[in-house]
Amino acid sequence: MSGIAPETGAAAAPVLSVEGLTVSVRAGGVERPLVEGLSFTLRRGETLAIAGESGSGKSITSLAIMGLLPPPAVRASAGRVLLDGTDLLALPEARMRAIRGDRIAMIFQEPMTSLNPVMTIGAQLVEALRAHEPLSRRAAQAKALAALTSVRISQPERRLTQYPHELSGGMRQRVMIAMALALKPDVLIADEPTTALDVTVQREVLDLLRDLQRETGTAIVLITHDMGVVAEMADRVIVMNGGRMVEEGPVARIFTDPAADYTRALLAAVPRMGKGEPRETAASVRAAPVARLLDVSVGFDIHGGLLGRTTHRVHAVEHVSFEIRPGETFALVGESGCGKSTIAKALVGLAPHEGHLEVAGRALSGLDSASRRAICRDVQMVFQDPMAALDPRMTVGDLVAEPLLIHGIGTPAERRARAEDLFARVGLPREALDRYPHEFSGGQRQRICIARALALNPKLIICDESVSALDVSVQARVLELLASLKREFGVAYLFISHDMAVVENIADRVAVMYLGQIVETGTREQVFGNPQHPYTRRLIDAVPVPDPAFVRPAGVRLSGEIPSPIHGVGQGPQRVNLVDLGGGHLVAA
């Protein structure tokens, strides 16, 4: 739990009160409720978690509080939202704009939809700070740098000069968190604030949120599907389903004695460390690997100067070797920027590489167009950001069937039937096939991407944070779907994830990466049951535990500067060693 005791006595008046909030959408001349009759209060220094499945109304509630509902189709049709007694729903936009970001701030689930793609990170931070505080540009730049440093983003000075597309998903989310925390608002609405973050950065962000509460008494509305985060952060919990509140109560009671069947089902779906079932994998050590990497490195040149000469090189992946066997789930874990996604891109031919890399027995170097097309059928990818992976101009049914069309498989009717079947298998209704990506929640869009990847029955599916945006019940169904496909067809997975509990429950073998290098690899039982490397222990210790009574021991932390993967031309990277100094501290040497 957050450990912040709500104020008592006369000072206990809520900073935020939601009274009978109903949010409706009008479509085809008919108005229907998305959120109906929701009421709750929030006091200073309190953390209220709102949990529920995708589409339950959690994010719509937050948008209504912030005055960000998309007019005119969606509106707050009834109720009040009181901030220290002022009804935010009744304010004109000019007054609401002054409150938004200053007194009440929000961290959104998808950072790329919130950051301006044509402005540098520094310019956006400075603009937000100066819009609400009388700061000089120099003072605002210093405060922006301090905000980025506080969320432990690597090379914060350089990030200020970069654009959003130049950052990883985890880095972009940290920028959003820094922007929200910099103004120290009275109320902070955090909509899946750690979804895109690895467990170690998630741990530091949660600690930051608690520090903010202790310093300023900020009240937090935490919207998340991670019940481990709920258990560690929340004082009270609201459980929503279908736009209605089904249960509310103190966090300890919700976890130990839930009153609603829906809440019990939600908690039962939570993956827990140490609960991975012993199982026999379908992988065969004698079968030819479906993917093989031998001494693979990936680097990117950085150009500068008037002539655009190569001045530095990013060593994203260095001398990585592993195999993935048919019917095996091979997991890559590590912090954002360690090279996990770069390896995935190299496997599908989207990143140049050195060393030997093969898929389904074919080396990826020197392929002709026909061979590359064949490999596309053998290996498919589910990306981290579903909105960036789906064409907004196509219906989702056409998007799921498109791989079949590209490879000339089936008639239009057969492709439609295949799309319907895939929708059913990932838990989406077939009537949704004719809708567009923007009409779905973030979790639903990720399920569409998974269905699309399954269309060609590939030999290898690369899942790059493929379940990170899903609530726990849908996540459990998707993971079971992946497992059933593996058992039925012998499909292999490269499973990239920052969720160590999910990895422990699904992986056969695990590789731990740090700064482009693999520091430990082994079976699931070896890595989780007896981790040998101090960095692996650090990752495991940082996992949120879905038990409000759990007391977290002192965690393992990195000391000193994180080494940079950027080196001058002709300077290769040094092998990174993490030295355990004792007392829970690591130093890169």
**Bigger pLDDT: 307 vs 180:** 180
pLDDT at 251: 96
Cβ within 8 Å of residue 506, ≥6 positions away: 329, 331, 479, 482, 483, 495
Distance CA 142, CA 137 (A): 9
CA nearest neighbour of 61 among 53, 72, 69: 69
* 463-518 confidence digits (pLDDT tens): 988 877 677 777 787 788 788 878 877 889 999 987 888 899 899 999 999 888 89
Predicted pLDDT at 144: 93
- Which domains, and CATH codes, for the chain? 15-268 (3.40.50.300), 291-582 (3.40.50.300)
pLDDT for residue 122: 95
As a whole number, mean pLDDT of residues 567-574 equals 55
Q: Give the model's pLDDT for residue 247.
A: 95
The pLDDT score that the predictor gives to residue 88 is 95
Which of 204 and 414 is assigned the larger pLDDT?
414
- Is 564 a residue whose pLDDT tops 80? no
Per-residue pLDDT band for 299 (boundaries 50, 70, 90) equals: confident
Q: What pLDDT does 585 receive?
A: 44
For residue 430, the one-letter residue type is R
For all residues of the chain together, what is the average pLDDT?
A: 83
CB 48 within 8 A of CB 225: no
- Residue 328's pLDDT is 93
Q: Residue 387 — very low, low, confident or very high, per pLDDT cuts 50/70/90?
A: confident
Average pLDDT of the residues in 397-420: 93
Q: What pLDDT was estimated at residue 121?
A: 95
User: Rounded to whole angstroms, what are the CA distances from 460 to 284, 359, 487?
Assistant: 15, 8, 13
Nearest to 456 by CA among 340, 373, 368: 373
Is 414 a residue whose pLDDT tops 90? yes
Instruction: Give the confidence band of 39 by pLDDT, cuts at 50, 70, 90.
Output: very high
pLDDT at 5: 46
pLDDT band at 581 (very low <50, low <70, confident <90, very high): very low
**C-alpha to C-alpha distance for 449 and 400, rounded to whole angstroms:** 8
